[in-house]
Amino acid sequence: MYTRGVKCSPSPLPPSPTRGARMAEAEEAESRESGPVGDDGVDGDDVGVDGDDDGDDDGVGGAGQPSARPVVPGVIYLSRIPPRLRVKHVRQLLSRHGELGRIFLQPEDKHRRKARKKISRSNARSYTEGWVEFVDKRKAKLAAIMLNNNRITTRKRSRFYDDLWSLKYLHRFRWAHLSERLAYERTVRNQRLRTEIAQAKKETGFYVANVERSATLGRLAERRKKQAATAAARDGGATEGQAAGEAEEEPMWGFRQRRTEGEIQEQKKKRAAVAATASSKKVQRSKQKASRIAQESKSNRELLAKIFQGSADGQS
């Protein structure tokens, strides 16, 4: 458009704020509303107000002054720890989003570490999961929302450039809960070790007792052999073969042995032979009974024939 011979260009629109700028503005607004935040008296084991707005007093105090929100620590859970990521790296990367308290990274199991060492031949320690405590739980929530599923760092030369954050804010979770969980896991592990040690001691004692028993039986067998040889030499009437047979007689063990396949088949054959013999005897007895019945019926027929034949002759 033209105004009084002067060419005017339309004014450009202001740039739209980015997501990071919006988050920063919201954080500044919350900090202005909450007032100054100090680090004195903040303890990770202290159980304060839970949740973002749960139980917070946003009203006006008795003296007409707005009451400040209490600073409550919050805990973020890291479900995956990239290789070669240490506590110092976690503190350096997350301290930009708020003041940090304690950090704990769970080392990997020793068996898994040994298997990984065989494959990669690396003695570096790796971690499986971790917990990070923020002094202010609002900063913890904001950091979890902003960083989850995003790159750990934007520097392409960094070894963590291709790794993503896997963060989750733990609602109503305090550092004391983590300490209780670790203590419980330690107690369970010690109890399992004690049980395994007791079982191993029991098995070892059983084995040693059997070895001692076998040695005792061996000594008794040697003593019997010597006594038999001495008795044979003293009597003089026993032959050399009998003395050798008595000396080489094996001791009778009191253990029940499982039968071999050959013994089982032989026993089955014996049972089949006994059953066949019994059945043949039964058939023979039945035949004898049938022949006896036939003879008795034959004699009865002869008697009846004589009787009826005599009566017929008398009538004629």
Mean pLDDT by 10-residue block, N- to C-terminus, for the chain (316 residues)? Answer: 46 49 56 42 36 41 59 92 90 92 88 80 84 93 92 90 92 87 87 90 89 88 87 68 55 72 90 89 86 81 74 60
Q: Which residues contact 158 (CB under 8 A, 6 or more apart)?
A: 152
Q: What is the pLDDT, as a whole number, of residue 314?
A: 59
CB atoms within 10 A of CB 92: 12
Q: What is the pLDDT, as a whole number, of residue 248?
A: 55
Q: Which two tokens stand for residue 89?
A: 């790296």
Q: What is the pLDDT, as a whole number, of residue 150?
A: 92
- CB-facing half-sphere around the CA of 177: CA atoms within 13 A: 12
pLDDT in tens, 253-284: 666 778 888 889 999 999 999 988 888 888 88
Q: Which two tokens stand for residue 151?
A: 């790159």
Q: What is the pLDDT, as a whole number, of residue 11?
A: 45
| Of the candidates 22, 2, 313, 55, the residue with the CA atom closest to the CA atom of residue 172 | 55
127-134, strands of its sheet edge to edge: 100-107, 127-134, 74-78, 167-170
User: If you search the block for the tokens 């990274």, which residue do you land on?
Assistant: 105
Q: What is the pLDDT, as a whole number, of residue 249?
A: 58
